[in-house]
């Protein structure tokens, strides 16, 4: 994962590169000079397959922006640069506060550099290499809980108007080691702040989730988190403007300020 200082330095360098491209781009459109030492097939495609392959394919949620072919990526070199500099891509909608989640698709500093240099440096194609593994949801954990896992369901029913936070909680009952979180339904793009509240009232931040339509996805912690007996797991929901409701059961979407249900599965072991 890129450090904050390094990330800022890379973003500043990228911003300067984009400014230069914006100024000189029209003048150089007729003649693109290849300055990148990285090529699509050898250096770029493996990164795109690993970090972007679950969405930017014909069957993915970003099928309108195909990136796993040379022409597809070359034609979108400008959006690629913009997305990298802004930090929008690859998207990751969960942050484990005391303990990080597994399989975050965050780019390393080396991967970021390869993509930026290639996209801004003439997008050379290179020679095709041996076939890479088919694109898959390699960055995603299985959608179902493994055997031996105890689950607790945290639900919240009511209106979720923009600008109004709603808080819900569930008692964990007996002590457990929390291993994963699995959103099942809720207001899309709403932010959920999860906190463990001990019987004595001590509050420990647990995670921050942005609810997406990939309902059922498991966010697995890198190591179990101890939850003591009769502690509460609390969820504070902050809807975004214009949220859309949906669920794993295929319920019809309803308005952003109308009723609905938050459903979040907490998985743990005794």
> Do 116 and 186 fall within a single domain?
no
Q: What is the reported pTM?
A: 0.62
CATH number reported for the structural domain that contains residue 220 in this entry: 2.60.120.230
Shared domain for 162 and 105, answered yes or no, is no
Shared domain check, 181 and 84: no
Please check whether residue 234 lies inside any domain of the structure. yes
Per-residue pLDDT of the chain (270 residues; tens, 9 = 90+): 444 444 445 544 554 544 444 444 444 434 456 688 999 999 999 998 888 877 777 766 666 777 888 999 999 899 889 888 887 777 778 888 889 888 777 788 999 999 999 999 999 999 887 665 544 444 444 555 666 788 888 887 666 666 678 888 999 889 999 999 988 888 777 889 999 999 999 999 999 998 876 676 789 999 999 999 999 999 998 877 544 433 333 343 333 333 357 888 899 988
Do 81 and 164 fall within a single domain?
no
- Identify the pLDDT of residue 131: 60
Considering the domain boundaries, does residue 142 fall inside one? no
First to last CA, the chain: 32
* Beta bridge pairs of residue 157: 261
Statement to judge: residues 159 and 110 lie in one domain: no
Task: Identify whether residues 113 and 159 lie together within a single domain.
Answer: no
Range of the domain at 28: 4-120
Task: Specify whether 114 is located in the same domain as 189.
Answer: no
- Cα separations in angstroms, 261 against 12, 17, 245: 42, 46, 9
Please, which residues have CB within 8 angstroms of residue 227's CB and are 6 or more apart in sequence? 172, 175, 176, 177, 178, 196, 233, 268
pLDDT at 7: 47
Residue 20 lies in a domain: yes
Predicted pLDDT of residue 217: 79
User: In terms of domains, do 102 and 182 share one?
Assistant: no
Q: Is residue 126 part of a domain?
A: no
Considering the domain architecture, whether residues 114 and 214 belong to the same structural domain is answered as no
CA–CA separation, 266 vs 150, rounded Å?
8
| Last residue in a domain, options 72, 100, 120 | 120
User: In the structure encoding, which two tokens stand for residue 47, read together?
Assistant: 């990164």
Q: What percent of the chain has pLDDT over 90?
A: 28
Among the three residues 103, 120, 137, which one is the final residue of a domain in this structure? 120
Q: Which pLDDT value is given to residue 114?
A: 94
Q: What is the pLDDT of residue 33?
A: 66
Residue 104 forms part of a structural domain: yes
Domain boundary, last residue among 120, 136, 170: 120
Q: How many domains does the chain have?
A: 2
pLDDT of residue 144: 59
């Amino acid at each position: 994962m890129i450090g904050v200082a390094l990330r800022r330095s890379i973003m500043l360098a990228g911003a300067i590169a984009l400014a230069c491209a914006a100024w000189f781009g029209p003048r150089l459109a007729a003649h693109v000079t290849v300055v990148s030492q990285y090529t699509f097939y050898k250096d770029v495609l493996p990164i795109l397959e690993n970090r972007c392959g679950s969405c930017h394919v014909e069957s993915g949620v970003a099928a309108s922006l195909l990136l796993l072919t040379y022409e597809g990526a070359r034609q979108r070199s400008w959006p690629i640069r913009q997305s990298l500099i802004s930090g929008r891509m690859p998207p990751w909608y969960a942050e484990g506060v005391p303990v990080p989640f597994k399989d975050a698709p965050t780019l390393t500093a080396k991967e970021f550099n390869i993509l930026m240099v290639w996209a801004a440096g003439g997008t050379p194609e290179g020679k095709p290499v041996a076939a890479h593994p088919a694109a898959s949801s390699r960055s995603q954990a299985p959608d179902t809980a493994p055997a031996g896992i105890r689950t607790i369901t945290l639900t919240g029913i009511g209106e979720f108007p923009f600008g109004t936070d709603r808080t819900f909680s569930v008692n964990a009952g007996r002590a457990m080691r929390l291993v994963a979180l699995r959103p099942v339904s809720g207001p899309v793009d709403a932010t959920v702040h999860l906190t463990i509240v001990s019987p004595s009232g001590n509050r420990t931040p647990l995670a921050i989730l942005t609810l997406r339509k990939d309902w059922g996805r498991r966010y697995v912690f890198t190591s179990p988190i101890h939850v003591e007996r009769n502690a509460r797991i609390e969820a504070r929901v902050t809807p975004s403007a214009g949220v859309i409701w949906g669920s794993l059961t295929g319920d019809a979407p309803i308005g952003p300020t109308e009723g609905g249900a938050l459903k979040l599965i907490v998985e743990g072991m005794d």
